[in-house]
């Protein structure tokens, strides 16, 4: 039976691969198995609107873009029989990398021909849906400040991080995690459905996307001279072994704060008010995953691909040239 799929293409997301997508759709899709329609998003939240209209009309909606586009599409497919598919063309592609979806467009599109479905968990963050990672603290601060920046992608994030890091002040948060009360002075608190932000930068290395649990990763306030070790632990999947890190698995988290909580949901900046409730929605979303023979090494080595010639772009003195206090 022919499957009906809708491609939703964000023409301005990520790194510009979208221009070639229609050519790959024509060359790589099996028209005997799939009936295809294509639409382009024209404004923020347009993918959410179009995905909502597609529910029940299509077997899958293909998000062609970055993590923001994926979030918009997924938010309307949760709890339905219409599956999410991803052709990753963003700069981070967190969920796609975690699900081992090929980073090469032709391979990602070929995967759709097999239409292998898997059910995954999603999170509800107040009124927002999250399929990957949400958080408060420093990563949310960066997300809010990143909006509107001309330099996008990993280099843009790194530039902003090195600019903002030295002046950022950790905050104290009151949390109730599955009924147990915590008070933590934290640099950041992440709520992880998958293990990574994107670009294989892992905030919760042991997170599973279908276990009915959220990995709450609390990075407590730490001395500045520990920053390089913390950053590298995000890259080599050892952040959960760091003395400054605490991981708690839970189904429901409540946070109360005297001022409005700045947060990010799958990298997109949001405001949560003075109280946030984060809940897991077990196995609430269907997603198309690649067959075994199309799974490829999609690892971006941040050190090799981001760091070369980085001094021309970034001022790293805030992090890399830290001086230890005299003893």
The pLDDT-based confidence of 296 (bands split at 50, 70, 90) is low
Encoding tokens for residue 138? Answer: 């420093």
Spell out where 70-179 has E strands.
83-88, 116-125, 128-130, 133-137, 171-177
Residue 300 is predicted with a pLDDT of 44
- pLDDT tops 60 at residue 21: yes
Mean pLDDT of 20-40: 94
3-state secondary structure 46-91: HHHHHHHHHECCECEEEEEECHHHHHHHHHHHCCCCCEEEEEECCC
Nearest to 209, CA basis, from 307, 115, 116, 282: 282
Spell out where 178-316 has E strands.
180-192, 196-198, 201-202, 214-220, 245-250, 252-256, 262-265, 268-271, 275-289
Lowest mean pLDDT among 138-142, 256-260, 312-316: 312-316
Residues forming a β-bridge with 116: 289
Residues in the chain: 327
Residue 309 is predicted with a pLDDT of 40
Mean pLDDT of the chain: 85
Report the percentage of the chain scoring pLDDT > 70: 81
Residue 237 is predicted with a pLDDT of 73
Mean pLDDT of 293-319: 49
Q: How many Cα atoms occupy the beta-carbon half-sphere of 105 within 13 Å?
A: 20
pLDDT digit string (tens) for 229-283? 777 677 677 677 767 789 999 999 999 999 999 999 999 999 999 999 999 999 9
Distance in angstroms (rounded) separating the CA atoms of residues 107 and 290? 9
Report the percentage of the chain scoring pLDDT > 90: 64
pTM of the model: 0.85
Residue 297 is predicted with a pLDDT of 55
Distance in angstroms (rounded) separating the CA atoms of residues 128 and 64? 21
Residue 3 is predicted with a pLDDT of 97
- pLDDT tops 80 at residue 126: yes
Q: What fold does the segment set 3-121+284-293 form as a domain?
A: Rossmann fold (3.40.50)
For residues 281 and 122, the answer to whether their CB atoms sit within 8 Å is yes
Distance in angstroms (rounded) separating the CA atoms of residues 48 and 46? 5
- Name all contacts of 208-213 with Cβ < 8 Å and 24+ positions apart: 209/98, 209/99, 209/120, 209/121, 210/118, 210/119, 210/120, 210/121, 210/282, 210/283, 211/121, 212/121, 212/251, 212/280, 212/282, 212/283, 213/121, 213/249, 213/250, 213/251, 213/280
Q: What fold does the segment set 128-282 form as a domain?
A: Tumour Suppressor Smad4 (2.60.200)
Lowest mean pLDDT among 19-28, 91-100, 172-181, 217-226: 217-226
Encoding tokens for residue 129? Answer: 């849906």
Place of tokens 């022919």: 2
pLDDT digit string (tens) for 48-72? 999 999 999 999 999 999 999 999 9
By the 10 Å C-beta count (0-12 exposed, 13-18 middle, 19+ buried), 102 is classed as: buried
Cα-only R_g, the chain: 20
- pLDDT tops 60 at residue 1: yes
Domain boundaries of the chain, sorted by first residue: 3-121+284-293, 128-282
Nearest to 14, CA basis, from 66, 62, 69, 85: 66
Mean pLDDT of 149-175: 76
């Amino acid at each position: 039976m022919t499957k009906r799929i809708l491609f939703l293409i964000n023409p301005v997301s990520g790194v510009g691969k979208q221009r070639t997508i229609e050519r790959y759709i024509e060359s790589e899709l099996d028209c005997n198995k799939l009936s295809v329609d294509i639409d382009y998003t024209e404004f923020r939240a347009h993918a959410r609107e179009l995905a909502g209209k597609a529910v029940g009309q299509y077997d899958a909606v293909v998000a062609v873009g970055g993590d923001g586009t994926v979030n918009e599409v997924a938010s309307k497919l949760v709890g339905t029989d219409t599956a999410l598919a991803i052709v990753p063309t963003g700069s981070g592609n967190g969920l796609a990398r975690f699900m081992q979806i090929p980073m090469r467009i032709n391979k990602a599109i070929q995967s759709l021909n097999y239409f292998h479905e898997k059910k995954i968990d999603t999170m509800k963050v107040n009124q927002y849906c999250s399929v990957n990672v949400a958080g408060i603290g420093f990563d949310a601060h960066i997300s809010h400040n990143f909006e509107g920046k001309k330099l996008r992608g990993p280099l843009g994030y790194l530039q902003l991080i090195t600019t903002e890091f030295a002046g950022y002040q950790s905050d104290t948060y009151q949390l109730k995690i599955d009924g147990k009360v915590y008070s933590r002075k934290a640099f950041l608190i992440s709520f992880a459905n998958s293990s990574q932000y994107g670009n294989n930068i892992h905030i919760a290395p042991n997170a599973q996307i279908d276990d009915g649990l959220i990995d709450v990763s609390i990075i407590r306030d730490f001395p500045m001279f520990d920053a390089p070790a913390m950053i590298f632990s995000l890259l080599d999947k050892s952040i959960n072994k760091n003395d400054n890190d605490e991981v708690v698995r839970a189904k429901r988290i409540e946070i109360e704060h005297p001022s409005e909580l700045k947060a990010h949901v799958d990298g997109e900046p949001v405001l949560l008010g003075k109280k946030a409730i984060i809940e897991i929605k077990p196995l609430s979303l269907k997603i198309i995953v690649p067959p075994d023979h199309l799974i490829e090494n999609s690892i971006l080595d941040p050190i090799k691909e981001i760091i070369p010639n980085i001094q021309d772009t970034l001022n790293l003195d805030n992090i890399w040239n830290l001086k230890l206090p005299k003893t």
